[in-house]
A and B are shown apart, each in its own frame.
Chain A
Amino acid sequence: MAKRVYLNLDLCCGCRSCAAACAYGHHVQSLLGHARVESNESELPLHCLHCEEPNCVNACPNDAMQKQEDKTVQRSHFQCVGCGSCALACPFGVIQPDLGKHVVPKCDLCIDRLAEGETPRCVQSCTSGALTFVEDGEQAADDNKHLASARILSNFIGRRR
């Protein structure tokens, strides 16, 4: 099993510190896709899921996207031509091409920090505890037990009280 970043919507306060931390960690190029929601005033992080059979890898014309041995999907800086095919192929919409800079920012799970045994920057910087870095199966089971039903109910009512 691999560790992944999970987002708990109940806790997220929309402060965007994850985006800021990502940007300062990756040479002022935020790799974190952010869904712009209706009024641009609140945002939440959309993390790459590092799929088992990634569409972006299949779509890449230059083999810049590769599934690694540690089960993460990484993008080679030198092979990427910024065509944006992976962004079209991604079923979750978490890859957002930066057309101005001719690159495709893509979450790398902060491999430099993982090598030191630390958590990714977005998770460490999260102010509300909404982002967690846990084993894949754990959080899903936990979610189903404790939070999922309440959260879906609250979503359907349209408010969170």
Chain B
Amino acid sequence: MVEKKRSICLFCSLGCGTMFRTAGEHVLAIDYDRDNPVNQGSLCPRGNYNFELLNHPCRLAEPQIGKRKASWRETIDLLRRRFMEFDPDSVGIVVSSLSSNEDACLAAKLAGQLGTKNIAAAADPADLEAYAGSKWEAEGAKLARIEKMGKEEALLIIGDVLTRSPVLAKRVNQVKYGKRGNRVTVIDPNQTHTSWFATTHLKNQPGTEALVLAAILKVVSEESGKARIDLNLEKVSKTVGIPQEVLVKAARDFNAAASGTIIFVPRETIARNDLCAYFARMLASLSPNKKYITCYGFGNTLGVNTILDGMVSGHLSSADLLKKVEGGQLKALLILGEDLAASHPELEKRIRGLELVAMSNYFLTPLTDDALTLLPLASHLENSASYTLADGRRERIDAAAPKVGTMSNAEIIAALLGDKVDLGQADQEAKAVVEKGVPSDKAELKQKLSEAQKITARKDAPELNITHFGNNRLVRNFFWYRVNNKHG
């Protein structure tokens, strides 16, 4: 009996709906969830990969202590015993951004019980920087809802959104071809997939995106008369390498549009992602009827960070935690759902030197060593949990397939805490924290602008120039044939 089961994809923060055809505990094929308001069934290559993740032959099914396979009970007993031995300051916890809200909530509780503040979310450093910037106070800035995008008149895209989240291409096309006069403005130093859809491509010097946004902010604030901004546009246009009149026209067009969305994609090539995120939000608050959205690399970046900030006050930032690992101040490390040795190869030696390392992961890691305890992790498809996505919506999904020998992060932590934890209650707590939100940090626009003016163009940034097929002879002939000849 073939059943269709709904799930979502977490390989970027859009959270597209997917479906799986299952028979009993077997997953037969991937299917497309047409009724999902976010993606209407379309999936990018990574979304299609979900199916392979479920059926991958290399998925771990048994815990390993060192190089020896062990039972779950033995592993958990060992970890419970040994984690208590260490001084609280020398224990660290890293939570992956693919984890669910419950995972983050329980990890925060575990940190509370161990008495440590060394807990941080692991994600793309650029994403974490952008998240830090998005906490700064910007009155009246509203998050855009993905299902409502596509009807606005203007888009301002910072970065290459169609490489990170290709499913937004439908919405970008809807705006571009929807009505005469609609604007799609792209700020990117490179010729990318996204810039091909731009009506205005602001090709700035690499790394100076924050400064371009500051200039746009200045023009918009002059138009609306809400705030006064001191910024020398001439100097800025020289630094970013865009003529002043082009910048001013792009800003005025965006401000004049009846509705619009600012899409920000954090990248490591951008000099100050936090300033970019902050200016994008300020732009959304100053310009009438505009909204913003930040496309993070991992599904639950927003949720995990918000919950950790809300539940563990004064916890370390990810960069500081990694510095502590590098400096040798930690003795034990619990890594939930992330292969730190793969994402930070320079730390591999340090992690090997720790006294106790426990890591939950889908696959084997190159780190396998006597000190390492490896826990097979259930993916988001085998796990009933809730997630907070880029547009702030909360998705609760049910397992598409049963777990085979694996455990979710939440169950691992519950076992470590002593089997007294109710997962449903953790979910409710996480929901409350996310709804309440994190108190925003104080920020002064003037100070941030002066920080932005210190940005200079990066010289080491790689140049990308994607040739689009639109001007290719082979394709043109092919297309010509199709339109003008009857076939089939």
Query: Could you tell me the distance in whole angstroms from the C-beta of A91 to the nearest C-beta in chain B?
Result: 9
Return the chain A residue nearest B476 by Cβ: A155
**Which residues of chain A are near B479, meaning CB under 8 Å?**
7, 9, 151
Which bracket fits the contact residues of B?
35 or more
CB within 8 A of B193: which of A13, A25, A121?
A: A13
Is A68 in the interface zone, CB < 8 Å from B?
no
Interface residues of A in 34-67 (CB under 8 A from B): 35, 37-39, 41-44, 46, 49-52
**Which residues of chain B are near A152, meaning CB under 8 Å?**
476, 480
Q: Measured between alpha carbons, how far is A113 from B169 in the docked complex, in Å?
A: 25
Q: Measured between alpha carbons, how far is A152 from B47 in the docked complex, in Å?
A: 33
Is B57 in the interface zone, CB < 8 Å from A?
no
Query: Could you tell me the distance in whole angstroms from the C-beta of B194 to the nearest C-beta in chain A?
Result: 8
Return the chain B residue nearest A161 by Cβ: B199
Is A107 in the interface zone, CB < 8 Å from B?
no
Is B225 in the interface zone, CB < 8 Å from A?
no
- How many A-B pairs with Cβ below 8 Å? 148
Fill in one digit per residue for B165-193: 1 if any A CB lies within 8 Å of its CB, else 0. 01111101100010000000000000001
Secondary structure class of chain B's binding surface, majority of residues: helix
CB within 8 A of A17: which of B42, B466, B475?
A: B42
Is A86 in the interface zone, CB < 8 Å from B?
no
Query: Could you tell me the distance in whole angstroms from the C-beta of B400 to the nearest C-beta in chain A?
Result: 15
CB within 8 A of A49: which of B41, B197, B487?
A: B487
Given A17-B47, A128-B170, do A136 and B471 touch, yes or no (CB 8 Å)?
Answer: no
Interface residues of B in 451-488 (CB under 8 A from A): 465-472, 474-476, 478-483, 486-488
Is B32 in the interface zone, CB < 8 Å from A?
yes
Return the chain A residue nearest B50 by Cβ: A24
Contact B467 A124 (CB under 8 A): no
Is A2 in the interface zone, CB < 8 Å from B?
yes
Query: Could you tell me the distance in whole angstroms from the C-beta of B14 to the nearest C-beta in chain A?
Result: 11
Contact B162 A15 (CB under 8 A): yes
Contact B470 A154 (CB under 8 A): yes
Is A81 in the interface zone, CB < 8 Å from B?
no
Return the chain B residue nearest A73 by Cβ: B488
Return the chain A residue nearest B481 by Cβ: A92
Given A159-B471, A161-B198, do A24 and B48 touch, yes or no (CB 8 Å)?
Answer: yes
Contact B42 A124 (CB under 8 A): yes
Is B29 in the interface zone, CB < 8 Å from A?
yes
Q: Measured between alpha carbons, how far is A124 from B29 in the docked complex, in Å?
A: 14
Contact B469 A13 (CB under 8 A): no
Question: A11-B173, A17-B166, A38-B472 are known contacts; what are 5 more A-B pairs with Cβ within 8 Å?
Answer: A24-B29, A51-B487, A125-B48, A127-B44, A128-B173
7 nearest A-B pairs in the assembled complex, by CB-CB distance:
A128-B169, A15-B166, A20-B45, A20-B48, A127-B166, A13-B169, A158-B471
Q: Chain A interface (Cβ within 8 Å of chain B)?
A: 2, 4, 6-7, 9-17, 19-21, 23-25, 35, 37-39, 41-44, 46, 49-52, 71, 92, 121, 124-129, 136, 140, 143-144, 148, 151-152, 154-155, 158-161
